[in-house]
A and B are shown apart, each in its own frame.
Chain A
Amino acid sequence: MSAQALRKTLIVFAAIGVCLGAYLTYVHYSGVTPPCSIKGNPCSQVQKSKYSELVGVPVALMGLIGYIAILASLLAPDSERMRFATMAFALGGFGFSMYLTYRELFTLHKICEWCVGSAVIITIIMCLSVWRFLLGDTPSPGPAEATLDQSAPAGVA
């Protein structure tokens, strides 16, 4: 997979993550019961447990902020620094997701489909962003650069 294809794939997954984080943040603050196919709606139980907040901040909101940070680092012009930022945010998000999964399985003894969905997305983002970071200097044009390249006269770009 080329660096550019990696970046585009990551943008898609980060965008899905932002949508998921936004929905779960809405669920947390509105108190609505999220749809869940498992009997007894463990999703609602997980999201109303004391582990749904960390130092008073909803973990859903933390997830939303994390996905936005990942997406922002991907939409910024490509550079080693931005690839590092994406990788660092993704690793942090993956670690936090593993902590939440541990709480679900071994503390609450309940599994939330929405949380599993987010864990899968952040795991994919983490793997791809680490791969992209280690791939190194095969820069793909950022949106701003791409626009410049397309508008440049033939033979100049």
Chain B
Amino acid sequence: MSSVDEDQEDLTRKERREQARAQRKAVEEAEVASAARKRRLGQLGIVAAVVIVAIVVILIATGGGSSTPTTTGKASEETVALVNSEIGGIPQNGNTIGNPNAPVTIQYFGDLECPVCREFTLGALPTIMQQWVKTGKVKIEYKSLETATREPEVFKTQQVAALAAGKQNLMWNYIELFYHQQGEEGSGYVTEAYLQGLAKQIPALNNAKWMSARNEAALSSQVEAEGQAAASAGFNGTPSFLIGKTGGGMQKLEHISLTDPAPFNEAIEKLLKEG
């Protein structure tokens, strides 16, 4: 074999070694890339799992599910029966409940979404209704003052819905049902379906007339005027009360209890004694 042939054979061997090295390198690089891809996918999976767990925890902590209160079913029937037992048979006129000639008038400034108003309406009010309103000695006027409702448009819509029921002298049925079936404050439960659901629970209410009355500009103006009257009286919280002889001057009723009617009883008795 000549030296030229030996050189060519060496070159071929060298090329083969380089080819093998290149192949090994390619395989190693592919393995490294595959391992890196697996590692990244693993990291992605871990992050995704942590995010999912965190969101589930937030959901549970902030309360899951819909916050729309129920206005149908057995619970609704029981509430309607309770409301009827409390205010059934008492005359109503617009926003007023009680004998039109009652010697004493109470003005109740409230926000239908206000949980404190609910506490009063379900607490002290039934006794006041029983003892003073049913007996014709006191009449109560419901007036709107925005406090708990966070959105003015929603406030006006819900208060007007109650006033529209007042056009059929059923405002207090609507108010009572609203407070009894009140949802969680600030949860946005006051939807059109909720407002109509309340109306449907009042059998005597003509739904078409009620819907039509809700568009009356006078009712919106009334809500605004009552808010201004509350501001003039220095009220910035609900429930707030004015009390006085019917047709006479009204004064603030302070230091009331949400569950105990005693402060109301004292003020009413005092006014009745004055004649």
**CB of B51 within 8 Å of the partner chain:** yes
A95 and B51 contact, Cβ closer than 8 Å, known pairs A130-B44, A136-B36 = yes
Cα A51 to Cα B59 in complex, Å, equals 11
Could you say which residues of chain B place their CB within 8 Å of the CB of A107?
Answer: 65-67, 187-188
Per-position 1/0 for A97-138, Cβ under 8 A of B: 011001100111110000000000000000000100110110
Query: Least Cβ distance of A37 to chain B in Å?
Result: 15
**CB of A13 within 8 Å of the partner chain:** no
Q: Are the C-beta atoms of B187 and A49 separated by less than 8 Å?
A: yes
A45 and B151 contact, Cβ closer than 8 Å, known pairs A92-B54, A108-B187 = yes
Could you say which residues of chain A place their CB within 8 Å of the CB of B188?
Answer: 45-46, 49, 107-110
Q: Are the C-beta atoms of A49 and B153 separated by less than 8 Å?
A: no
Cα A51 to Cα B61 in complex, Å, equals 12
Q: Are the C-beta atoms of B185 and A50 separated by less than 8 Å?
A: yes
Per-position 1/0 for B177-217, Cβ under 8 A of A: 00000001111100100000000000000000000000000
Cα A136 to Cα B30 in complex, Å, equals 13
Q: Are the C-beta atoms of B151 and A91 separated by less than 8 Å?
A: no
- Nearest residue (CB) in B for A130 is B44
- Nearest residue (CB) in A for B193 is A109
**CB of B267 within 8 Å of the partner chain:** no
**CB of A87 within 8 Å of the partner chain:** yes
A84 and B151 contact, Cβ closer than 8 Å, known pairs A95-B51, A107-B187 = no
**CB of B26 within 8 Å of the partner chain:** no
Cα A44 to Cα B59 in complex, Å, equals 22
Among A48, A54, A98, A130, the most chain B Cβ lie within 10 Å of the Cβ of A48
Query: Least Cβ distance of A111 to chain B in Å?
Result: 11
Cα A116 to Cα B66 in complex, Å, equals 20
A109 and B191 contact, Cβ closer than 8 Å, known pairs A91-B51, A133-B40, A134-B37 = yes
Could you say which residues of chain A place their CB within 8 Å of the CB of B43?
Answer: 84, 133
A91 and B47 contact, Cβ closer than 8 Å, known pairs A99-B59, A108-B187 = yes
Query: Least Cβ distance of B185 to chain A in Å?
Result: 7
Q: Are the C-beta atoms of A109 and B68 separated by less than 8 Å?
A: yes
Q: Are the C-beta atoms of A87 and B47 separated by less than 8 Å?
A: yes
Cα A40 to Cα B188 in complex, Å, equals 13
Per-position 1/0 for B155-187, Cβ under 8 A of A: 000000000000000000000000000001111
CB within 8 Å of A: which of B52-71? 52, 54-55, 58-59, 62, 65-68
- Nearest residue (CB) in B for A136 is B36
**CB of B150 within 8 Å of the partner chain:** yes
Binding site for B on A (CB under 8 A): 40-41, 44-46, 48-51, 54, 84, 87-88, 91-92, 94-96, 98-99, 102-103, 106-110, 130, 133-134, 136-137
Closest 5 CB pairs of A and B: A50-B186, A108-B188, A95-B51, A48-B150, A45-B151
